[in-house]
Structure 1
Amino acid sequence: MTDQIPAGESPLGSLACPEPEDRPDLWPTTARRTDDGELVLGGLTVSEILAEAPSPVFVLDEADLRGRAASWAAAMHEEFWPSYGMAGGEAFYAGKAFLTTKVAQWVLEEGMGIDTASRGELAVSLAALQEVDGEEATTDATRLGLHGNGKTQAEIAVALTHHVGHLVLDSLEEVDLAVRAVRELRASGVYGPEETGKVMVRLTTGVHAGGHEYISTGHEDQKFGLSVHGGAARRTIDAIIAAPELELHGLHSHIGSQILDLAGFREAVGIVLTLRHEVAVDTGHLCPEVDLGGGYGIAYTGADPVPPSQAQVARTLAEAVRETCERLGDEVPTVSIEPGRAVAGPTTVTLYTVTGLKRVELEEGASRLYVSIDGGMSDNIRPALYEAAYTALVANRRPDPQAGLVRSRVVGKHCESGDVVVRDVDLPADLAVGDVLAVPATGAYGRSMASNYNLFTRPGVRWVREGESGWVLRPETIEDLLRLEG
């Protein structure tokens, strides 16, 4: 069957999706096959899940998500433990990966904070915080953060009102907006007459790390942050220190996404802490906290390396912080990070039903099987947006090993030629309409970036745990789409 492979592509079989026992890092921790070959997630077979939640559907392993959140929190607490000469470490879940009140409650209960990037994400996180820690916690929401470029004064004021732990300013203009917001909060009596707003500054360090250009955020030519090397960061820091309404609480750095090599983080630590030192020498203000952002990668296919563990990440950062502060002669700061994809990504599998098969003849006798499914780019835009690679596994049965494999492309049903969910995968040659495909590692930026393109309804998210299940988000209906009509 090798003559069916398009020229220049990998040998047949090399692009087959690994089974859960072969690459457990690709799958939720409870994923396995039954003796009959059916995929099990959270103690439920695929057929049991689909009986209650028709495809396409995101299936989220609650125990796996809780476990990953707890591991990130524990790793930071352990490696930055004050008894080790450190000043404490925290992990904030990057809510942009996937956020609902239920997910927010889970990560808060497991010891993480939540980093938000919009007023909506902040509102959801505040609602979850109230459920977990009580209403009084929402007036001193140190476990939450708000960042992002282009924030309005109203958004900044909401964060200041709730005393979020990380209010990350992204421009000199946002400093002015924060000053005005504090003045209005003082005038209204929400703040005391001398109370200040704690803020952080987002830096661009020039360190370029991660995958696609659109998700590499530490380099200079992009919309986020303030340049360390160009001087914009220092000018903004000086403006904050000079403002009696504000208190510079810390420095924030985010160098990219889907990062599997930790060397870039070590480099960024040196740049951030050197700036912190220079500010202290010049002004006497030593920032008590440094947020080193997120971007920690995961595996999406069998070709991807196994990513660093939570402990490896925390240990690498702790060593870099300790060594740099010793060299500079500074006290170590409290250190926080913002994993999102690395918490949510592997916990979720999208189940699709095969709706059509079309073999396309290519040059020199090669061919490709186009596999149509009942979802597409409206529930996973990342392949079209970032050229992100995914893989797929037949989930409702164990394929006949004698049938062989065929080079395939899994495509959605949208009116776009770029509507591809899995660009290249070796699927069983006995694949049939009605089979169920499982696409792993869709927990981050799948449902959160979903759209209603072609007026598709967005799929639901179903939690599974120990043989039970329920909705995290119910699937949209046509009535939901019509409800917004004017």
Structure 2
Amino acid sequence: MFLHGTSRINAQGHLEIGGCDVTDLAKEFGTPLYIVDETLVRQRAREFTEAFRKTGLRFQVAYASKAFCVMAMCRVAEEEGMSLDVVSDGELHTALKAGFPAERIHFHGNNKTPDEINMALDANIGCFVVDNFTEMQLLNSLAQEKGKTVNVLLRITPGVEAHTHDYISTGQQDSKFGFDLGNGTAFRAVEQAIAASNLKLLGVHSHIGSQIFEVEGFRMAVEKIAAFAIDIRAKLGETFSVINLGGGYGIRYVEGDTPLPVGQYVQAISDAMISSCKAADFPLPEIWIEPGRSIVGDAGTTLYTIGTSKDIPGVRKYIAVDGGMTDNPRPALYESKYDALLANRANDEATEVVSIAGKACESGDMLIWDLKLPESKSGDLLAVFCTGAYNYAMASNYNRIRRPAVVFVKDGKADLVVARESHEDISRNDLIPERLRKQAVSR
């Protein structure tokens, strides 16, 4: 079993994370429970910043908060010197409420509403990543009304197809995101941004996809974007000061996943940028990137309590846990793979192959197929690894199931950073029209 970060099996045969025995965490906080290894989160952040420092390039590492956005995570990102990218007013609100510096916030999204744009303008965020012509016109108009000039990057699709799931590929021509580089749309977008009275064009943004295990896609994207920047300077006299290459750096979920060391991704990006710019005597821009999954993904573990089981002789044995697609929809969405162990009997020999089912009323609510485990019983604890990214972020109340609590663990201490939802939380926003209220019965 591959264990990430500070995870280990202690003398009692229990899984321990951040110096905390997870059986104790289950007793204190209940299950399902998201457990975040804070030390590993900080380590991952530092791997990126230290790798860039070695290149000598100017850079910003912005945490992609869509992967996991809670106030405590925003605090960690700030303490580690990261910037922050947000894609909604909810993420922006969370960041601002956490005290994250507005000037280090970048606002993404393909359909920012006027209210969201105004909220970001009033907060004086550092940069908008403009996705389309409608947004560009709206942003310029709203900034003009407020007498502000705002920094923008233009999101472009460079025509690089990452080798990943279709739903998380974003750099290809046929994408809902960005201005297309190949058909001239990106060039026209630069022209309009330059002409806009209240926009300051810093450069361009590109994101080719997620969970990428090779450098060639990033290298190709750099070369295409650098060539575009050089062409813009030659034809429009505009020199980009920033090129943002997004995120997408893969992590190890299961055996067979082969992510590269962070430094290898960064070095490939830097070498391609330096080579492209040097060949054209183009001033080296500041490089921005946006890791999300690669910061928090393998730092997260979800702890479940095993309930029922169903053995179909000659077919399959199902083990059901007290969570499922409501706290981790990724297997249902992307056929994502995960690894797991019995957290309270981690040294026991695996003697059977089972499939882990969730408790939602859906046949597709399956977390893991064909997992080797010791013979489990009701009340055992199952730890599913690498659930730090897009699990809490995508969690839902389907079947009116309450979303789990989140704890940060570090140096033997567990801090509750998101409380478990209560039954009252589930119905808090419900309203009953007067005509549906029960009438008092006359006696």
Q: Write the distance in 2 (CA, Å) between the matches of 1:378 and 1:77.
A: 40
**Contact 2:204 2:240 (8 Å CA) reproduced:** yes
Number of positions where the alignment pairs a residue of Structure 1 with one of Structure 2: 431
Aligned position for 1:3: none
Aligned position for 1:11: none
- Secondary structure of 2:187's match? helix
**Contact 1:70 1:107 (8 Å CA) reproduced:** no
Q: Which amino acid aligns with 1:426?
A: K
Q: Deviations over 1:325-364 (max 9, x none)?
A: 1122211100010000000101110001110121223xxx
Q: For 2:420, which of 455, 475, 483 is the aligned residue?
A: 475
**Contact 1:375 1:413 (8 Å CA) reproduced:** yes
Offset of residue 74 of structure 1: 2.4
**Contact 1:390 1:423 (8 Å CA) reproduced:** no
Does residue 1:101 correspond to 2:71, yes or no?
Answer: yes
- Secondary structure of 2:92's match? helix
Does residue 1:203 correspond to 2:173, yes or no?
Answer: no
Q: For 1:414, which of 360, 364, 370 is the aligned residue?
A: 360
- Secondary structure of 2:146's match? helix
**Contact 2:23 2:343 (8 Å CA) reproduced:** no
- Secondary structure of 1:206's match? coil
Q: Write the distance in 1 (CA, Å) between the matches of 2:370 and 2:288.
A: 38
Offset of residue 35 of structure 1: 2.0
**Contact 1:202 1:251 (8 Å CA) reproduced:** yes
Offset of residue 163 of structure 1: 3.4
**Contact 1:77 1:90 (8 Å CA) reproduced:** no
TM score, norm. by length of structure 2? 0.94
Q: Which amino acid aligns with 1:124?
A: T
Q: Which amino acid aligns with 2:71?
A: T
Q: For 1:334, which of 286, 297, 313 is the aligned residue?
A: 286
Q: Write the distance in 2 (CA, Å) between the matches of 1:412 and 1:448.
A: 18
Cα 1:470–1:317 change in 2 (3 A) is same
Offset of residue 381 of structure 1: 0.1
- Secondary structure of 1:471's match? strand
- Secondary structure of 1:447's match? coil
Q: For 1:397, which of 345, 369, 373 is the aligned residue?
A: 345
Q: Which amino acid aligns with 2:12?
A: D
Q: For 1:375, which of 323, 338, 343 is the aligned residue?
A: 323
Does residue 1:63 correspond to 2:39, yes or no?
Answer: yes
- Secondary structure of 2:26's match? helix
Q: Write the distance in 1 (CA, Å) between the matches of 2:118 and 2:202.
A: 17
Aligned position for 2:434: none
* 5+ residue gaps, structure 2: 432-443
Q: For 2:12, which of 28, 36, 41 is the aligned residue?
A: 36
Aligned position for 2:440: none
Does residue 1:156 correspond to 2:112, yes or no?
Answer: no
Q: For 2:307, which of 355, 379, 384 is the aligned residue?
A: 355
Q: Write the distance in 2 (CA, Å) between the matches of 1:44 and 1:197.
A: 46
Does residue 1:323 correspond to 2:275, yes or no?
Answer: yes
Aligned position for 1:169: 130
Aligned position for 1:461: 406
RMSD over aligned Cα atoms: 1.4
Q: Which amino acid aligns with 1:460?
A: A
Q: Write the distance in 2 (CA, Å) between the matches of 1:315 and 1:482.
A: 50
Q: Deviations over 1:26-48 (max 9, x none)?
A: x2x11001123111111111211
Offset of residue 407 of structure 1: 2.2
**Contact 1:70 1:112 (8 Å CA) reproduced:** no
Aligned position for 2:97: 127
Mapping of residues 432-447 of structure 1, within 5 Å: 432-447=377-392
Aligned position for 2:195: 242
Offset of residue 154 of structure 1: 2.9
Q: Deviations over 1:134-171 (max 9, x none)?
A: xxx54xx1x11001101123322333333323310000
Q: Which amino acid aligns with 2:312?
A: V
Offset of residue 406 of structure 1: 2.1
Q: Write the distance in 2 (CA, Å) between the matches of 1:399 and 1:69.
A: 32
Q: Which amino acid aligns with 1:343?
A: I
Offset of residue 293 of structure 1: 0.1
Q: Which amino acid aligns with 1:485?
A: D
Q: Which amino acid aligns with 1:219?
A: Q
**Contact 1:210 1:295 (8 Å CA) reproduced:** no
Aligned position for 2:335: 387
Q: Deviations over 1:203-262 (max 9, x none)?
A: 011111142111000011121111000111111111111122221111000000111111
Q: Deviations over 1:89-111 (max 9, x none)?
A: 11000000001111101111011
Aligned position for 2:436: none
Q: Write the distance in 2 (CA, Å) between the matches of 1:455 and 1:280.
A: 55
Aligned position for 1:276: 229
Offset of residue 314 of structure 1: 1.4
Q: Deviations over 1:361-417 (max 9, x none)?
A: 3xxxx432211001010000000001111111111013543xx53222101011100
- Secondary structure of 2:362's match? coil
Offset of residue 302 of structure 1: 1.8
Instruction: Quote the sequence identity (%).
Output: 39
Aligned position for 1:110: 80
Q: Write the distance in 1 (CA, Å) between the matches of 2:74 and 2:131.
A: 25
Mapping of residues 290-305 of structure 1, within 5 Å: 290-305=243-258
Cα 1:180–1:469 change in 2 (3 A) is same
- Secondary structure of 1:160's match? helix
Q: For 2:370, which of 401, 410, 424 is the aligned residue?
A: 424
Does residue 1:184 correspond to 2:145, yes or no?
Answer: yes
Q: Write the distance in 2 (CA, Å) between the matches of 1:398 and 1:389.
A: 20
Q: For 1:230, which of 150, 166, 183 is the aligned residue?
A: 183
**Contact 1:108 1:129 (8 Å CA) reproduced:** no
